[in-house]
Structure 1
Amino acid sequence: MDADTARERILAAVRAIPRGRVAGYGEVARRAGLPGRARLVARILSSNDDPALPWHRVLRSDGRIAMPAGSAGWREQGRRLRAEGVEVSAGRVRMPAQAPDEGLDALLWGPGPGA
């Protein structure tokens, strides 16, 4: 997969995270079809210039904001998450539980029909 395709897939996965929900960098990478590429997700988000991209919904796998504590970006991400109703405490969000065979779709939208 070329770099532009990977970038577009990652950005599409970030845009698909519903308001008031969060996902880890690794989960975004898996959702984009790029398992194991969490650092690529972080790199792409760090160079984002689209103000409409909901970058603030992406966190470390343990729920922590990845920016240095107290930095302007750290404060902005916490502010945006709180504005969407996400509980943020000391720069950390409780991440949704994930069963080993569930992906981002199941986490974000719940069980499928007939589940």
Structure 2
Amino acid sequence: MDEEFTEAVLSIVETIPPGCVATYGLIAERIGRGGARQVGRVMSIHGQAVPWWRVVRANGTLPVHLMIDAQQYWRDEQTPVRNGRVIVKEALAPDF
């Protein structure tokens, strides 16, 4: 993963407002290269520095080991959630 791509991912994640989300794939699309897996890799290594709970899979979930902590953030930020998953259509950040 190159530094420019990493910085682009982290910069985008920092702009996602509370209560909103973006998907790994949409972030890659916005950057114009890479894909969901590459964004996921950046988030797995550097995501603790940004609001990682605002970046979800297309189905509104996160990796299992992150789901419990994410639930509290989503509740605190009033992110639309149903059955433990973010309702991506309702929570999608405005610029996505």
Query: TM over 0.5: same fold?
Result: yes
Choose which of 56, 60, 64 in structure 2 pairs with 1:59.
56
Q: Which one-letter code corresponds to 2:36 in the other structure?
A: A
Alignment of 1:1-115 (within 5 A): 3-34=2-33, 36-48=34-46, 50-51=48-49, 53-63=50-60, 65-68=61-64, 71=65, 73-96=66-89, 108-109=94-95
Gaps of 5+ in 2: none
- Does the Cα contact within 8 Å between 1:12 and 1:32 map onto a contact in 2? no
Q: Deviations over 1:48-77 (max 9, x none)?
A: 2644x11100111122x2212xx4x21001
The sequence identity of aligned pairs, in percent, is 34
Q: Which one-letter code corresponds to 1:44 in the other structure?
A: V
Gaps of 5+ in 1: 98-103, 111-115
Q: Please say which structure displays the higher CA radius of gyration.
A: 1
Instruction: Say which structure is richer in strand.
Output: 2
Superposed displacement of residue 89, structure 1: 2.6
Residues paired across the two proteins, number: 95
Closer, same or farther: CA 49–60 of 1 in aligned 2, 3 Å = closer
Instruction: Say which structure is richer in helix.
Output: 2
- Does the Cα contact within 8 Å between 1:25 and 1:58 map onto a contact in 2? yes
Higher relative contact order (Cα pairs below 8 Å, separated by 6+ residues): 2
